[in-house]
Amino acid sequence: MRSVLLPLITVLLACGVLHAQDGPTPYPDSKDSALWPGQGPVRAFDWMHDNRASFWKKRAQDRGAVVFVGDSITGGWKLPAMRAAFPALKVANRGIGGDVSRGLLFRFKEDVLDLDPRAVVVCIGTNDLSAHAKPEVIAGNIGLLLDQARDRNPSLPVVLCTIPPRASPKAPLRKPQALAELNALIVQLAQGRDNVVVFDLFAALAAPDGSPEPGYFRTDLIHPSPAGHQRWGELLAPVLASLDQGPDVAANK
């Protein structure tokens, strides 16, 4: 049987019938929640497909990077500025605007873990809150992300960011305390997990009263401004350095 199958496979490969995957796995139907991992709201907008197709083309060049992943809070951090914030590290940005924790859970393997990252920086959940998901549901999805990372590489360093402050009149929270509740759960998620550390992005970008520090946010008071991303980088750099990532200056050039 083997002597028959091998020539057949060779012919199929030559004809292009069998081939390696040439793009990211398509999102499930957003109208069928049962097809998605985790719980809570799902989103699959057109630009998300485009973003993932672009990420796919960069897989080889971004292999071994410190990978930042999340929604527009991360995605809006322009790569030149991110590289400037971490000049000794190879970095890659896998943030997608509008993403929720279930969306990240679906794409985490292909967009992040398959890059064999040196470390992962995760910030996800603010869009779940906008969709009025319960903090414990969001935290459950983030916990599944951490499980994926551990199962793929038990020694992979993961920096889990708290959600920054927000005061957008266009996306008010049904329960204002939900943000604080989610951040408390994010801190708890890191407890007892080797190689997972929490970075308090909320505190980094908050005014003394806990509201968004205006200089660190765009006018919508939900997305970090360039100064906000710079602040994030300044405070995060020593955290990444403590993970013993080692110098990698040439990789970002």
The end-to-end CA distance of the chain, in Å, is 51
Residue recorded with tokens 């003394």: 208
Averaged pLDDT for residues 224-228: 98
The one-letter amino acid code at 153 reads N
Q: How confident is the model at residue 186 (pLDDT cuts 50, 70, 90)?
A: very high
Per DSSP, helices labelled H in 86-225 are 101-111, 126-130, 135-152, 178-190, 201-205
Quick check: 94 pLDDT over 80?
Answer: yes
Residue 62: what pLDDT? Answer: 98
User: How do 158-161 and 91-95 pair as beta strands?
Assistant: unpaired
**If you average pLDDT over every residue of the chain, what do you get?**
91
User: Confidence band (pLDDT; 50, 70, 90) for 244?
Assistant: low
| Strand pairing report for 119-123 and 91-95 | unpaired
Confidence of residue 246 (pLDDT cuts 50, 70, 90): very low
Give the DSSP H/E element, type plus range, for residue 121: strand 119-123
With 50 as the cut, is the pLDDT of residue 2 above it? Answer: no
- Annotate 129-160 with b (16+ C-beta within 10 A) or e (fewer): bbeebbbebbbbbbbbbbebbbeeeeebbbbb
The region of weakest confidence among 19-23, 61-65, 131-135 is 19-23
CATH number assigned to the domain covering 37-242: 3.40.50.1110
pLDDT in the model for residue 20: 60
Q: Over the Cα atoms of the chain, what is R_g?
A: 19
CA-to-CA distance for 175 and 129, rounded, in angstroms? Answer: 9
Predicted local confidence at residue 243, as pLDDT: 87
Q: Rounded to whole angstroms, how far apart are CA atoms 122 and 110? A: 15
pLDDT in tens, 147-180: 999 999 999 999 999 999 999 999 999 999 999 9
Q: How far is CA 91 from CA 20, 55, 185, 214, in A?
A: 26, 13, 27, 27
Q: DSSP 3-state assignment of 23?
A: coil
Q: Count the helix, strand and coil residues of the chain and give each as a percent rounded to the nearest 5.
A: 45, 10, 40
| pTM summary value | 0.89
Dihedral Cα 32, 56, 49, 162, nearest 10 deg: 80
For 11-59, write each residue's pLDDT tens digit. Answer: 334 433 434 689 999 999 999 999 999 999 999 999 999 999 999 999 9
Determine the Cα–Cα distance for residues 33 and 43; give it in Å rounded to an integer.
Answer: 10
* Cβ–Cβ < 8 Å for 164, 206: yes
